[in-house]
Amino acid sequence: MPIKLRKKKFVINWLKAFMLSPGILFPAGYLLLYLSTNIYLNADFKKSLSLSVQRATGNRWHIHIKSLKTGWILNSVTLNEIEFTKAAMPENRGQVANHSMTINTLEIPTPHLQQLLFSNADLMSSTNALCEKIIAEKSLVQ
């Protein structure tokens, strides 16, 4: 076998061994969990959180959350630019009251955040807990 081919094979085998080593696999797995949690939070969880706040306020307030981001160790959620808009109620149709408020950043400690992807019970309890904290923060801002 020529020396050039042996060197090429050695480099390829070394790279395979490096990529399959625990020092690479564990961080890659954690990064995958972190990224998938953030993608899920910004896609589906944000919608269910908005609906939960709407139900908890008796359809009086609608919220729009620009983005959600988890902490690096998946122990908190940071909500960016939460905009509360007062819903038009049927009894107040004659009045034009566009009441809204914005909270720039809200960080909420959330243990077991990584389990949102795997358990519906954790999803519902986290949604309700975040909803309560958002409404409490809205009350403080008012």
pLDDT of residue 94: 52
Provide the CA 81 distance to its chain's centre, in angstroms.
Answer: 13
Residue 30 pLDDT > 70: yes
pLDDT tens by residue, 108-130: 888 777 777 777 888 888 888 88
Instruction: Answer yes or no: are the C-beta atoms of 84 and 63 closer than 8 Å.
Output: yes
Domain presence at residue 98: yes
Asked whether residue 90 is domain-assigned, the answer is yes
pTM assigned to the model? 0.70
Q: Is residue 117 part of a domain?
A: yes
Per residue in 51-61, pLDDT (tens digit) is 998 998 888 88
Work out how many domains the chain is built from and give that number. 1
Query: What is the C-alpha to C-alpha distance for residues 29 and 27, in angstroms, rounded to an integer?
Result: 5
Residue 59's domain comprises: 41-141
Q: Is 47 within a domain? A: yes
pLDDT one-digit tens code per residue, 44-84? 888 888 899 899 888 888 899 998 888 888 888 899 999 98
89 pLDDT band (50/70/90 cuts)?
low
What tokens appear for 106 in the block? Answer: 């809200």
Q: Do the domain assignments include residue 16?
A: no
Please state the three-class secondary structure of the chain as a single string. CCHHHHHHHHHHHHHHHHHCCHHHHHHHHHHHHHHHHHHHHHHHHHHHHHHHHHHHCCCCEEEEEEEEEECCCCCEEEEEEEEEEECCCHHHCCCCCCCEEEEEEEEEECCCHHHHHCCHHHHHHHHHHHHHHHHHHHHHHC
In a domain, 15, yes or no: no
